[in-house]
Amino acid sequence: MTTPRRPRIARNIADLPPSGIREFFDLVSTLENVISLGVGEPDFATPWHICDEVYDSLRRGRTQYTSNLGMIDLRREISRVLATRYGAEYDPENQIIVTVGVSEGLDVALRAVLNPGDEVIVPDPSFVAYGPSVKLAGGVAVPAPMTEADAFKLRPDVVRSRITDRTRALLIGFPNNPTGSVMTREELAEIARIAEEFDLLVLSDEIYDRLTYEGEHTCFATLPGMAERTILLNGFSKSYAMTGWRIGYACAPRDIIAAMVAIHSYTMMSAPTPAQIAATQALRHGEPDVERMRSQYDQRRRFLVQGLRDIGLGCFEPLGAFYVFPNITSTGLDSQTFARRLVQEEGVAVVPGPVFGASGEGYVRATYATSMDNLKEALTRLARFLGKRGTPY
Amino acid sequence: MHSILEILASEGRCTAEEIALRLGIDANAVEARIREYERNHVILGYHAVVNWHKADDQRLFAFIEVKASPERGLGFDRLAEHIAGFPEVHSVHLVSGTHDLNVVIQGRDFREVALFVAEKLAPLEQVQSTATSFVLKSYKVEGQLINTEGEDHRLAVTP
Ligand SMILES: Cc1ncc(COP(=O)(O)O)c(C=O)c1O
């Protein structure tokens, strides 16, 4: 027997930065009686009629592969909903692919369009998977910082300053995880003009589109000239409380969908059939559920933002998703230390901002996808924690 | 403004101040609106939803299907209001279908409920017949699942 002499793990994998979420999860798991505001998923269960539809489908033996693109019924529903809600026209035959969540959609989209070394501009802070997904697809993620002063919106001048002759795409996601920021149609139109000017593709992750609390969500592909350059990513995890089902979709011009199907058909075959049936039911009959959950989130959002401000933490007002992103610099602690001590001393878990990018320093992410009782208790504990720290308030 | 009612209908203990915060409106306005609801009997009362079985309380519920003859000009109103007057009666509804009134009785045991039906309900002049169903086990009451494990299955920290 010989011991392996070469590193066994591929270089680009060994080089992936460790997930800050993972590290923090490991710490929290060792503690008891923790109220977690560190969760990135709904606290609601999947609406019962959706589960019921799937039970029925299982009884009827619908347990086979589907078309690589996904069930045509589901693609038709996706097409219908995007057309009626946003006026976005996608042909269910060849412009929509059903994926294993936005996660897979993102991966396949990036692999379909990036050549080695291509640069992708990614807002910072943003969802933890963006950077690594770009890297795994052979690209280079270029962060475009967003600041609280700009309401965590992507500034056109910042985007421009990041463009090089290797820039291939923008990867944006509004409403934004972790800040809850949204961008207006006019603001996005400026980003669209840049995409046009520099011939960039835009991957738009709109998974929180149904969770906006003021104003209308803008579907990026409906901006002038953008249908041709946008890969729209969306899913069921957040709006329909379906994280564990692992189901989402991507919409794009034909050639891009064809390239994505080529990858997806070899690596995934098709998204899970029960999940596709659940998603179809969600689009057909889930509207009242979305509204019910959205209204609950909205109430908690107002409550938590005010509660944080009342105990002395400045908090940007989020207008979408289900996160708040309070500014913790007044405590004199960095985000990591703040989050670690908060969970160790008071049993409240939040996620340190830098997990979502360097611009997250000075902030933590807390979710209001949890019960009012938990929010109240968390605020009480947080107030005690800040009192100990001697924050003036 | 029905959102105030919606909150109170599921969270009766929610204060006006909290409702105001959650809906982004003025606390005094919420307070005034709630008082108005109470005055106008839009809000009839506040109570806890109790799982009596778990509280080890032997109280018993029964549904009584009542067939009755309506009165000219009054229909079933007078009879229903008469029945509603008994403290044993938890609720009374006029219903469509094979019978006319649906009466929910709350008693200490089978005997008490049966006696109430035999001695108070059945003898009423307009009542033609009654059929009693005793509740053996409840699964959901007033919108609340009885079997709430209330467990959060989520991991503590996720992206
Ligand atoms: C912005 C964003 N995109 C994508 C995802 C992943 O979604 P899915 O469950 O559809 O893979 C998340 C989940 O946290 C998210 O916050």
Residue A172 belongs to domain with CATH number: 3.40.640.10
Q: Are residues A307 and A212 in the same domain?
A: no
For B159, which of A34, A40, A372 is closest by C-beta distance?
A40
Assess if residue A30 is contained within a domain.
yes
Domain boundary among A285, A316, A334: A285
Q: Are residues A254 and A311 in the same domain?
A: no
A177 lines ligand 1 (CB under 6 A): yes
* DSSP code at position A21: H
Q: Is A175 exposed, middle or buried (0-12, 13-18, 19+ CB in 10 A)?
A: buried
> What is the reported pLDDT for B146?
87
Assess if residue A6 is contained within a domain.
no
Whether B155 has its CB under 8 Å from any CB of chain A: the answer is yes
Instruction: Give the model confidence (pLDDT) of A150-168 as tens digits.
Output: 999 999 999 999 999 999 9
The pLDDT mean for chain B works out to 93
Q: Which residues from chain A sit within 8 angstroms of residue B22, using beta carbons?
A: 299-300, 302-303
Q: What percent of chain B has a predicted confidence (pLDDT) above 90?
A: 81
Q: Are residues A68 and A148 in the same domain?
A: yes
Q: Are residues A120 and A263 in the same domain?
A: yes
* DSSP code at position A6: S
Domain boundary among A226, A258, A285: A285
User: For ligand 1, what atom is nearest to the CA of residue A127?
Assistant: 1
Contact A295 B3 (CB under 8 A): yes
Q: Are residues A71 and A187 in the same domain?
A: yes
B157 lines ligand 1 (CB under 6 A): no
Assess if residue A162 is contained within a domain.
yes
Question: Does B156 score more than 90 pLDDT?
Answer: no
Assess if residue A125 is contained within a domain.
yes
Q: Which residues from chain A sit within 8 angstroms of residue B159, using beta carbons?
A: 19, 21, 40, 127-129, 177
A125 lines ligand 1 (CB under 6 A): no
Q: Are residues A118 and A266 in the same domain?
A: yes
Domain boundary among A229, A262, A285: A285
Task: Tell the residue number behind the tokens 């405590």, with chain if given.
Answer: A331
DSSP chain B: -HHHHHHHHH-TT--HHHHHHHHTS-HHHHHHHHHHHHHTTSS--------TTTTT---EEEEEEEEEPPBTTTBTHHHHHHHHTSTTEEEEEE-SSS-SEEEEEEESSHHHHHHHIIIIITTSTTEEEEEEEE----SEETTEES-------S-SB--
User: Whole-angstrom Cα distance, residue A219 to residue A82?
Assistant: 9
Question: Does A239 score more than 80 pLDDT?
Answer: yes
Contact B157 A28 (CB under 8 A): yes
Instruction: Give the model confidence (pLDDT) of A46-58 as tens digits.
Output: 999 999 999 999 9
Q: Are residues A129 and A152 in the same domain?
A: yes
> What is the reported pLDDT for B149?
65
Q: Are residues A210 and A144 in the same domain?
A: yes
Q: How confident is the model at residue A393 (pLDDT cuts 50, 70, 90)?
A: very low
Distances (CA, A) of A313 to A307, A308, A383: 9, 5, 9
Assess if residue A5 is contained within a domain.
no
> What is the reported pLDDT for A327?
98
Cβ contact B12:B43 at 8 Å? no
Q: Is B90 exposed, middle or buried (0-12, 13-18, 19+ CB in 10 A)?
A: middle
What's the total number of domains in chain A? 2
User: For ligand 1, what atom is nearest to the CA of residue A237?
Assistant: 9
Read off the tokens for B13: 């203990």
Whether A300 has its CB under 8 Å from any CB of chain B: the answer is yes
**What's the pTM?**
0.91
Mean per-residue pLDDT for B96-106? Answer: 97
Assess if residue A3 is contained within a domain.
no
Q: Are residues A129 and A256 in the same domain?
A: yes
For A36, which of B7, B18, B156 is closest by C-beta distance?
B156
Residue A296 belongs to domain with CATH number: 3.90.1150.10
Instruction: Give the model confidence (pLDDT) of A300-325 as tens digits.
Output: 999 999 999 999 999 999 999 999 99
Q: Are residues A33 and A115 in the same domain?
A: no
Q: Are residues A37 and A79 in the same domain?
A: no
Contact B156 A41 (CB under 8 A): no
Assess if residue A251 is contained within a domain.
yes
| For B18, nearest residue in chain A (alpha carbons) | A303
Structural domain boundaries enclosing A352 = 11-46+288-385
Q: How many CA atoms lie within 13 A of B139 on its CB side?
A: 0
Mean per-residue pLDDT for A14-40? Answer: 90
* DSSP code at position A115: P
Assess if residue A391 is contained within a domain.
no
Q: Are residues A200 and A316 in the same domain?
A: no
